[in-house]
Amino acid sequence: MSGDHSIRMSFAFDPAVDVPAGIYLSQLWLYSLTVLYPVQAVRRVGMYPKTSLGRYPARRPTQGEGKFYCREFPEPVYLEHDSPQSESVREFDRGAKLYETVVVPFTRPVHEESLVLIQRMLPPAARILDLGCGPGTELFRLAEAVPDGEVVGIDLSAEMIAAAHEAGRQRGLQNTAFFQADVTHLPDHFTGRFDAIHSSFAFHHYSDPTAALSEAYRALNSGGKAFVIDGGTWWANMLSAPLAKMGDPGWVGFHTPEEFRALFLGAGFTDFYWEELLPGIGMCVGSK
């Protein structure tokens, strides 16, 4: 990445990219309006049947790691050299400031449901590492949920990190920190420093999911938990994969709950739990 980390947006219309992406996003919006929001309302009144895999994880007694990175690193930390994956994040750099407008209408109900489960398992002083934090939309909600702890966001896109840092300052949040980093090569000083790992709608971009989960495992403290939100049911994966391949930059592939379980256990996690949050979308919980 260049030394200038200000937000640089290109609004030039590229038919090879923008038309497929527009089709994909329009389908996400349609699905959210016709399925996700209505079913969320049903779930809130306890009428949505629970679908899960594995044993529901218990909350461990802990005070949480508290604040450290938000005090030691008040400014974003960027990579000194370009990552080998720099080309693959170009579209994310380009769309950093558009994320709130084009993606959040789809992801919001999912994140609201995931946060209910996450808050049950973490103390107010938890330190959370958010993998693929983007411009920080979900990270800020996590930060508000752990007022005595902190949330550290990483993303390979320098523009996303810059956007998240600026948005956090505008919100007045004091318990966040941001690093430009690859999920398969987290900073060495992250080892054993986090109560939880959070990854929302980013896992399907990982070309080496085993390496990503192994790094997440390394960053967790003893008994820590990894929360991964992504597509999961076989029917949703089958229907959405062709559109995602066409319109989602950097898309690699979705995983079923059974495939997620194999990946988590292969990375060293001792327990695995998956629950469908809303139709076609679930959350994995891996315990160290």
Residue spans per domain, the chain: 15-287
Give the N- to C-terminal CA distance of the chain in Å, as an integer: 34
Digit-coded pLDDT (tens) for 224-283: 999 999 998 999 999 999 988 887 778 899 999 999 999 999 999 999 999 999 999 999
Q: What pLDDT was estimated at residue 84?
A: 54
Contact 160, 92 (CB under 8 A): yes
Contact 261, 54 (CB under 8 A): yes
Distance of alpha carbon 21 from alpha carbon 70, whole angstroms: 35
**Regarding the domain delimited by 15-287, which CATH topology (the fold level of the hierarchy) does it fall under?**
Rossmann fold (3.40.50)
Tell me: pLDDT of 1 over 60. no
The β-bridge relationship of strands 194-200 and 176-180 is: unpaired
Predicted structure pTM score: 0.88
Tell me: pLDDT of 99 over 70. no
Q: What pLDDT was estimated at residue 7?
A: 30
Q: What pLDDT was estimated at residue 83?
A: 57
Tell me: pLDDT of 114 over 70. yes
Tell me: pLDDT of 131 over 90. yes
Rounded average pLDDT over 123-146: 96
The β-bridge partners of 77 are 179
Rounded average pLDDT over 98-126: 87
Backbone angles phi, psi at 193, to 5 degrees: -100, -5
Digit-coded pLDDT (tens) for 33-92: 999 999 999 999 999 999 999 999 988 788 999 999 999 999 999 998 765 555 555 555
Q: What percent of the chain has pLDDT over 70?
A: 87
Rounded average pLDDT over 132-145: 95
Distance of alpha carbon 231 from alpha carbon 174, whole angstroms: 32
* Of residues 92, 107, 179, 175, the one with CA closest to residue 140: 175
Alpha carbon separation from 236 to 126, 281, 282 (Å, rounded)? 33, 8, 11
How much is the mean pLDDT over the chain?
Answer: 88
Distance of alpha carbon 52 from alpha carbon 201, whole angstroms: 19
